[in-house]
Structure formats: C-alpha cells, structure tokens
Amino acid sequence: MIGTLAWVLRRDLRLALRRPAELAFALFFFLIVASLFPIGIGPQPELLRAIAPGVLWVAALLASLLALPRLFSADHADGTLEQMAIAPHPLTLIVVAKLAAHWLTTGLPLTLLAPLIALQFGLPAEAIGVLVLSLALGTPVLGAIGAVGAALTLGLRGGGVLTAILVLPLYIPALIFGAGAVEATVAGTGASGHLSLLAALLVFTLTFAPWAAAASVRIALE
C-alpha cells in the first residue's frame, strides 16, 4: 500500500509539473484578487487590517476551488481512473495520494504566498504567522471537501459550476475558523480556540472525505 501511495503521489506531482500554467493560474488568481482590495480601498491601515483575514481566506478558498478539476478530470478523460478503480489496491488510498499531490501543488504554494500578500494589508508579524498556520491547516480541508464534490460531478456537463455549488456551503466552517484565528490575533484575544477547531475539522475531514470521494468516483464510473 505504501508503494502504491508513493507511486500515485509521484505520478500526480510529475504530471502537475508538466503543466506549470495550470499551477500558476490558481496562484495568480489568489495574488490578483487579494491585491485588488488594498488598491481599491486605498491607504487606510486600520480598515485594511480589519478586512485582511476575510479577504485573504476567501481569495485562498476561491483559488483552491479553481484547482479542483485537476484532481480527477484528466484521469477520467483518458481512462486512467477506471484502471485505478479496478486495481487490487483500495481506491480510497489512491484518493489520499491524489489529495496529497493536490495540496503540495496548490495548498502549500498558497500558504507560502500568503505572507507576502498579507504585508499589503499591514498585518503584524504575529497575525501573519497565525495566517500561515491557519492556511496550512485549512487548505487540506478545502481540498478534501472539494474532492468529494469533484468526484460527484465527474463527467457531467458544467461540472465545475456544480462542484462550486456543492462545496462552497461546506467550506464555511473552515472559512470561519481560519479567518477567525487571524482576527482574534489582531484583536489580541488569542487564536488557540479557532486553530484547535480548525485542526479538529482537519482530522474529521481527512478521516471521512477520502472514503466519500472514492465512493463517489465509483458511482460516477458506473
């Protein structure tokens, strides 16, 4: 199983790196959307600090949503996903490997880019650290939930729009806890409670989402 996990992870990373434009698209979207707010609002430091947690988290959420079609659509189009589904290895394990590759090529770059964008909003260093930690905990949640939606709409016309409709309401808890952690840090009330809830959400999501995504893939392939 470990060999299968490593093989799928290496394969998806290799395929993703062969399409750098797709990887850069989500990052540029995150950068542009988050940067438009300081430009539009103007030099109002207190207002920028107040809206920064929500703006940065919503921008990261939407950028993560844009990257979801890469999870299954290409493998579904060339028949690879069907071969994975009938392989002797658990499909849930394959989904876990694909989620790991998705986070390494989308969630991790978004997390590393966030501090640079946060400087535009004048966030203090402690709040930037909490922002990075919240995104490190939250982006896997977004990817795991999104995988279920992407699997449910696999092969459907307008699947991207349907995926967004399905998963956006489920993203709300991660958005609340992630942005709330940064807001609490800026206000000086402490972010431990929000981060603990976000970590609990991560554990819950990673426990059940791969199984649900694998089941949805099997349904879509039937």
Residue 219's pLDDT is 84
What's the sign of the alpha-carbon dihedral 38, 39, 41, 46? positive
Residue 68's pLDDT is 85
- pLDDT averaged per 10 residues, the chain (length 222): 79 84 86 87 83 92 87 80 80 90 92 91 90 95 92 76 88 94 88 93 94 88 75
Q: For the chain, how many helices (H) and strands (E)? A: 10, 0
pTM: 0.90
Q: Which residues form the domain of 46?
A: 2-221
The string of pLDDT tens digits covering residues 42-55 is: 778 888 888 889 99
CA distance linking residue 124 with residue 133, whole number of Å: 14
Residue 114's pLDDT is 92
Residue 37's pLDDT is 85
Residue 189's pLDDT is 85
The string of pLDDT tens digits covering residues 136-151 is: 999 999 999 999 988 8
Residue 1's pLDDT is 67
Give the chain's domain count.
1
Residue 164's pLDDT is 86
CA distance linking residue 212 with residue 152, whole number of Å: 9
User: Which two structure tokens, joined as six digits, stand for 160?
Assistant: 């991207």
Residue 126's pLDDT is 92
